[in-house]
Amino acid sequence: MQLSRFDGHEDYVRAGAVSPANMETWATGGYDHVCKLWDVRDPKGGAMMNMDHGAPVEDLAFFPSGVSAFSCREAMGGGLCASLP
């Protein structure tokens, strides 16, 4: 039985997080280089926001306030973080 489905990424989804301020706001990131913000209450299931990360997304998390999130990728021993407004 499928409860929900969120289509939109074009490659594997590697990371996901739920906003601590609003349990209906989710963020996902994948090997398609895209971070997406979702409102799980939206019956159409489309992402509220898309951000091209420029590289595969390895991890993401919301700040404790839940207002913004960040995503990271491994880059030859270093890292890249990008803020999701």
More confident residue, 66 or 65: 65
**Is 84's pLDDT higher than 60?**
no
- Give me the pLDDT at residue 12, please: 93
**Do the Cβ atoms of 47 and 38 come closer than 8 Å?**
yes
Residues in Cβ contact with 70 at an 8 Å cutoff, skipping those fewer than 6 apart: 60, 61, 63, 81, 82, 83, 84
Distance CA 84, CA 36 (A): 9
Q: Could you tell me whether strands 59-62 and 78-84 are parallel, antiparallel, or unpaired per DSSP bridges? A: unpaired
- Give me the pLDDT at residue 80, please: 53
- Give me the pLDDT at residue 21, please: 86
pLDDT in tens, 6-51: 888 999 999 999 888 888 888 898 899 888 888 888 877 788 888 8
